[in-house]
Amino acid sequence: MPTGVAVRDGRIHIALFGGFPFIEKGGAVVSLDLAAPETPPRPEATGLDAPVDITFDGAGRLVVLEHGIFDPDTGFEPGTGRLVAIEPGGGAPEVIAGGLARPAKVIADGAGFLVSQLAGPVVRIADCPGEAR
């Protein structure tokens, strides 16, 4: 299920939640070439826990907001939401912030990130190399 969209360097990046029943590490981000949308999507990140939004920081890293880990008996586990950054070309996600309460939206603003949460306040996270885009 698509949940977030960001455009960079002629590509549209789409966060894919993974759907229900929830599959741990089942989320992904793919991108499409805006000049050739008929070409197959390119995987940009896999193994994500319910990605709900994406952006880029000034260093060109893909920044992914993960909603968290879902337990079929109790719902989303408290404090499992996190904000991660992935270097261009892939690699393991670097955790920028963890312990988020069902986060829903991220905005890079040059001084860091603003994150809204469904089960908590809007928070500012100050880790944004370079100028946000």
Q: Which pLDDT tens digit goes with each residue over 69-115?
A: 888 888 888 899 999 999 988 888 999 999 999 999 999 988 899 99
CATH code linked to domain 2-125:
2.120.10.30
* Beta carbons of 30 and 46 less than 8 angstroms apart: no
Predicted structure pTM score: 0.90
Q: What is the pLDDT of residues 36-76, one digit of tens each?
A: 989 999 999 999 999 999 999 988 999 999 998 888 888 88
* Beta carbons of 11 and 39 less than 8 angstroms apart: no
Q: Which helix (H) or strand (E) holds 14?
A: strand 11-16
* Beta carbons of 107 and 128 less than 8 angstroms apart: no
Query: What residue ranges do the domains of the chain occupy?
Result: 2-125
* Beta carbons of 76 and 52 less than 8 angstroms apart: no
